[in-house]
Chain A
């Protein structure tokens, strides 16, 4: 492991040490589906919205399989699975035609792994929501379901792309990863969910103010915005705190 301080290593050769943003699979299908994917997500969400207001628990539960399918499709069609060489350490060679290393795990295994990681992140996300002020004695199914949606949107693609790379995950958790459509989508998803809390206290007495509708809505909208921004606007940028 190179012992270089990532904060102060401006003088060293950045490209060789710093992680790079994720590139899409170099196929037309990937380029098309990555644009279709947020449209599908948002329109599915829009269609289910009346049902979500009427019965959040059932709707969130029923839409989970759809979300799983959409996310798996997006990941397998568009994203390089972990270990395929395009995610963390890109080299000229891989771009020059060496298709896929035989040593990398199959897409199915990666999908399975990413799903497992997403499931494990659900209680963590639910715990975070409680720390932010979500009810702890009531509304437990709602909180768990909203966490599941957050996990599938925000954690699953990252897990698919980055696998169990510890240093990469440290970068992701410290929000220092270079922005790309995967990381941007995740960031947008969580920021959106955070902003989704804003309308809850208002005394408008609207059904859609019910827990956790605004959070999930914010997450979906934020995911789409973040993904777009990660693809076009902010690609490769890093968030500096100071």
Chain B
């Protein structure tokens, strides 16, 4: 090696500190280098062959370059794998997530779908009423977001005494009594009914349903963050066509759906997604709505849509059982009273919830609590009636006499004298049309006939557009239509007969609705099969790839062999033939195959695409490319595979990994195993821990045995402690008790849970430190990093959540909510800046966590070598790779801890401890090249997903985590934060995967990149198999009752996790390994 020249001090500046430092540093560097060289030479790793030094230098450079290239191939393979996974998920989703043909047809005033049975004055004009006499000139439609039905009906313990499990009144009970009381006191002016939403129960989809009268399809579910204009025929369009002035106040989802519909100047939209803010929207709407009701401003509007968000936000933020909810509901109660007082006789008032909320105040799914909203209609005309006197009392619960949310569309349209929107599938609500005495059967029969005819017309148009012959559809409601129509024609207007007509038309509507639900569950099976096939072939490719890389790394270390190899390498370099040193590796051949195959595949499908002339070119190209690439890679793999054994596991550990992965994947075909996934994961994790303990007892060396048993026990115990953090999904009840939040009906943490954060801040850095100290790696940057920066970050995190809790529970009345928010947001931003920004920079430049000294006393756990008579010690030599890489994991850990609620932070802290124990177990039992390590990491990631307060359901997404470091929604940060919160455990696990190969590895370890590639492939394989299985089951069970409740959310979770793990594997794990290896290579030389 070239000796480092000692820089001469700058002239004239002899004693400057800089110069002194430079000299001292150069001297020390040279000294260090000499020591290292000495050690390496003694170990026989460095050349003793007398070759000229520059050859060795060149060899070193060559090897650094070779590492970078090999790394590029490894990255290439995982990029290709990511493409395959996305492609497979894309094709499956395309066929699986339901789509509905959007028809452009519009209803017009003058052309009812069927002749009006009882002519009236002004029929066919918006003034008189298009298809039905206009009943109201104006309407005020108020949406109280997430107004669940049971909020509105009285609750008292006395009526519950008979129940087996009497429940005390919750915070949400009896707080908005006005609606119920009015319905009882003035039955002709008001009625209150359960109002059932069609899932998905997200506001955007609900508004579509409430204005078009049609069923949303699942593909819409993802677009809640960015709405899009409704193109179908809808109520607002009909209003606008009839020349009515529409005013909108509140939730800005409306303006996204109906751009340009609303009167400018008096309409007012507010940001809808800031769920931390309970009051801005409500205050704003209240401020604007009351003046508009005054008689002097009556001409400025005809129909008003006011959308309050406070109740929904209180639910998201605190859960329903919280004083904030009581307050919000009471506020709404008062407001409704005030609005009623200001209402004139010709105005219809509709108050409704667009969906309900689950036990934690979230929504999106199709559980009972999420779909059961309330509908209250009021007018001073006194025209509402009941078909049965007992119906005056609103139903006790939402199971009795519910109406569908789409039923509001024909009801509103006919009451306001408008045509029913073309796509409507709902039926008129009988209370609004049956008349004051409850006997206007002719009117009821008329409106239900009109609505049914509209439905029939729509059906015909829909089948026509799809090119399906309607009569071929099973169970066509044609018969029902014929029966109803026949009854009307033959009848003579008697009440009994009209009643029958009404029942028959209603039956027709119900049946059609059922058929439509089925029809729009029409799947594109070939596309689904293509997606599944791509995922399946991807799994096979990944199995081969993991095996290839694992086999490449099994060569034993032999010092003589290494010396000979070294001589050959030097010779090749000095002969100027470095190409001899390139070894064929699994990643390179696979990537080359993938590139060629993909290109051929894309080219090959473009021909049929051109011939067919239909379909998206993108789809064809992606499909062809995926298939071509997979065929080529599998071909390459099978060709090389002939030399090796089969890819089936060969050890107990391999089988254990396979059993964990496969049995769980099979289990996802059952709703029970999907529901209880968290318990199953605990079972597997404990099983691994027990197997590790059994294996550890076999270790012969006493100290190693004790350590290995200790780490196995710790691994199991920590997992068990973490399992006490639970967030139960609805289906787990009543066998599960949520502990994640303060109570089952809350989404805020209990004050004692804050203690967890402070314990984590105090203990976690010390625990990590202990793992460094045991291998003498608490050197270099490690002390500053772990005990100082990390701990400070954790303390700040604890402070953040304390302020947050103070805000939620109003501990400091002196500070406003806004002040507290301003106070805590910078804390979160600082933590992100430190962990992601500064942390990554520091990781890139950090030296290895070792200390090189010439201490005379031999120290256990260190590398001791004598070089030319001097004793030199490298502390932490044995874990050079692992201890440095773990610093990156610490960064990731801090970022994840920041976005978790206190209970989740506790779980993540336990998980990081489990990871360290796992690494020790793997090392002590020589399992570092077994698939079990990466698979157990994947189990840990999946397990702690549940322990951080998540479930495989849409409603368990903690949307509020988007606001932890921000005041408003900001792209792309908000979705990224929610992802970091949701999948933090999996992200931490995949970040730690390289450690399986790196932990307790000394510098210049051979084949480290292949080991990392194998570990990452095993890890990704777990998720790929789970992804494939859930995809297959969701496709297979597409008609299952529990599809949208269980299988579809599980599939979506698994697909999201698969893609995220692939991406984080590339961006964190492989990037980290690159920096890590280069940094260590620069100090210790390349191997």
Contacts and interface: CB of A to CB of B under 8 A. Distances in A.
Interface of A: 5-7, 128, 130-133, 170, 173-176, 194, 197, 201-203, 239-242
Given A5-B700, A132-B683, A132-B686, A201 B676 contact: yes
B660 to A, nearest CB: 13
The 3 closest A-B pairs by CB, nearest first: A174-B697, A201-B676, A174-B698
Contacts of B673: 201-202
Contacts of B651: 241-242
Interface stretch (B321-329, B687-695, B755-763, B915-923): B687-695
A197 B926 CA distance: 30
A132 B684 CA distance: 8
Contacts of A202: 670, 672-673
Nearest to B670: A202
Given A241-B651, A242-B652, A242-B653, A201 B680 contact: yes
22 contacts: A7-B700, A131-B686, A131-B716, A132-B682, A132-B683, A132-B687, A133-B682, A170-B697, A173-B697, A174-B694, A174-B695, A174-B698, A176-B698, A194-B687, A197-B683, A201-B672, A201-B673, A201-B675, A201-B680, A203-B671, A239-B652, A242-B653
B3 to A, nearest CB: 46
B1075 interface: no
A173 B653 CA distance: 17
Contact of A241 (B653, B671, B680, B723): B653
Contacts of B653: 241-242
B771 interface: no
Contacts of A132: 682-683, 686-687
A211 to B, nearest CB: 11
A7 B699 CA distance: 9
B178 interface: no
B397 interface: no
Contacts of B680: 201
A6 B705 CA distance: 14
Chain B interface main SS type: helix
B695 A241 contact: yes
B652 A131 contact: no
B679 interface: yes
Contact of A7 (B671, B687, B690, B698): B698
- The residue in A5, A130, A133, A201 that gathers the most chain B C-beta atoms within 10 A of its C-beta is A201
Contacts of B687: 132, 194
A174 B671 CA distance: 36
B261 interface: no
Contacts of B697: 170, 173-174
A196 to B, nearest CB: 12
A241 B652 contact: yes
B136 interface: no
Contacts of B670: 202
B723 to A, nearest CB: 7
Contacts of B1084: none
A194 B717 CA distance: 18
A97 B686 CA distance: 48
B923 to A, nearest CB: 15
B83 interface: no
Contacts of B671: 203
A136 to B, nearest CB: 9
Nearest to B695: A241
Contacts of A131: 686, 689, 716-717, 720
Interface string B97-130: 0000000000000000000000000000000000
Contacts of A176: 698
A133 B700 CA distance: 31
B35 to A, nearest CB: 36
A130 B682 CA distance: 11
B682 A175 contact: no
Contacts of A5: 700
Interface string B127-145: 0000000000000000000
A2 to B, nearest CB: 13
Contacts of A197: 683
Given A175-B694, A203-B675, 19 more contacts: A5-B700, A7-B698, A128-B690, A130-B720, A131-B716, A133-B683, A133-B686, A133-B723, A170-B697, A197-B683, A201-B673, A201-B679, A203-B672, A239-B652, A241-B652, A241-B653, A241-B695, A241-B698, A242-B926
A173 B694 contact: yes
Contacts of B679: 133, 201
B708 to A, nearest CB: 11
Contacts of B683: 132-133, 197
A201 B668 CA distance: 12
B1068 to A, nearest CB: 31
- The residue in B670, B675, B679, B697 that gathers the most chain A C-beta atoms within 10 A of its C-beta is B697
Contacts of A175: 694
- The residue in A7, A132, A203, A239 that gathers the most chain B C-beta atoms within 10 A of its C-beta is A132
B751 to A, nearest CB: 23
Nearest to B731: A203
Interface string B652-679: 1100000000000000001111011001
B208 to A, nearest CB: 34
- The residue in B653, B683, B695 that gathers the most chain A C-beta atoms within 10 A of its C-beta is B683
Nearest to B696: A174
Nearest to A194: B687
A92 to B, nearest CB: 30
A173 B716 CA distance: 17
A203 B720 CA distance: 24
A5 B701 CA distance: 9
B87 to A, nearest CB: 34
A201 B695 CA distance: 29
- The residue in A131, A197, A202, A203 that gathers the most chain B C-beta atoms within 10 A of its C-beta is A131
B737 to A, nearest CB: 9
A175 to B, nearest CB: 5
A64 to B, nearest CB: 26
Contacts of A201: 672-673, 675-676, 679-680
A197 B717 CA distance: 20
Contacts of A174: 694-695, 697-698
Contacts of A6: 700
A242 B676 CA distance: 32
A201 B671 CA distance: 10
Nearest to A137: B737
Contacts of A128: 690
A144 to B, nearest CB: 18
Contacts of A130: 720
Interface string B701-739: 000000000000000110010010000000000000000
Contacts of A241: 651-653, 695, 698
A241 B680 CA distance: 24
A137 B627 CA distance: 53
A148 B652 CA distance: 29
B716 A240 contact: no
B298 to A, nearest CB: 57
A175 B723 CA distance: 28
Nearest to A129: B686
Contacts of A194: 687
Nearest to A5: B700
B939 to A, nearest CB: 14
A7 B671 CA distance: 45
Nearest to A8: B700
Contacts of B690: 128
A175 B717 CA distance: 21
Nearest to A172: B697
A184 B297 CA distance: 90
